[in-house]
Amino acid sequence: MGAIYYQNYGDNSIRGDVLQIISDIKNQYSDMIINPYWIDDMTKKKAIEKLESLKYFIECPKEFLNNSIIDKFYGRLKFLDVLPPVYQNVLFKKNNLNSVNYGIIGRLIGHEIGHTFDKEGIYYDANGIRNNWWRNDSIKNFDDRAMCIVEQYGNNTMPEINANVNGRLTLRENIADNSGLKAAYRAYIIKLKSSSNNGERLTHLSYNSKQLFWISYANRWCEKVTVEDSKRDILDSHASSEFRVIGLLSNMKEFSIDFQCPIGSKMNPIKKCK
C-alpha cells in the first residue's frame, strides 16, 4: 500500500526543502556541541565527527517503485502491515509557514539526531562501534545534567492514575526531546532572520512567528487521555504527551521569552535542565 501511495501521490519536490531543514538543524547541533564549557575538546572533536557521519534517507528507495520487486518481496511474507499514508502532509507541507514546518518536522529531525547523543548514544562512536569515547570528566558532567532531567520529569504526576512519570525509563527520549527542540528552534530563528517574510503570521490569529513555532510543536501532542491510556503511557519509554509539552517547554528559556512567562512561574521556573 505504501508503494502504491508513493507512486501516485509521492511529492519529490519537498526533498530539497527537507534536506535544507536537516542541514540547518545539523549546524545548530554542531554549535551545541562546540559551545558548552563542560565537554572537553577531544570529546567535542569526536562528537562532531559522529554528527558529520550521520546518513539521512528522506525518500523511498528506487526499488520501492518497481512493481516486480515489490511483488517478489511480498510473495515471501505471511502478513501485511497497512499504515495510513497521512504523514506527508501531517509532518511537512510545502506551503506551510516556516514556523510550522520547523516546529513539526524540524523538531522530529532534531529529536532523532538527539538520540545520537542520548544516555545510550554517547557510548557509540562515528562508526557505530560501542566504546568509551567520552572522557570521564565530560561523562560525569553529562550524567549530572541527565539526573536533572530524571528528577524533573519524575516529579510530574499523571492525574488519571495518580502516579509519577518514570524519569529514568523516559530519560533517553527526554534528552532527545530537549536537544531536538532546542536545535529546531535555533535553526528556525536563523531561517527567520534570513527570510524576506520575517513577520509571518496565520490569518485571524495574533501569535507572532516565534510563538507559532512553539504552538506548532505543542499541537502535535494534543489528545484526550483515558485511564487506560495513562496505564500504558507510564510503562512507555516516552513521557506522556502532556509532559512532552509542559516539561520540555518549561526548560526552554526561549519559550518563556517569546510568551513573556513570569520568572518563577510553572512555564518559566528558576531552575531549568540544560
Q: What residues are labeled active site?
A: 112, 177
C-alpha to C-alpha distance for 98 and 106, rounded to whole angstroms: 10
Q: Angle, nearest 10°, between helix axes 171-194 and 107-114?
A: 130
Q: What is the dihedral of CA 32, 38, 43, 47, to 10 degrees?
A: -20
- Taking alpha carbons only, the member of 128, 120, 112, 164 closest to residue 146 is 120
Q: 259: which 3 cell numbers?
A: 510568551
Residue keyed to cell 510563538: 211
What 3-state class would DSSP assign to 164?
strand
**Cβ-proximal residues to 126 (8 Å cutoff; 6+ apart), any chain:** 46, 49, 50, 52, 53
C-alpha to C-alpha distance for 267 and 263, rounded to whole angstroms: 9
What 3-state class would DSSP assign to 265?
strand
250: phi then psi, degrees, rounded to nearest 5: -70, -15
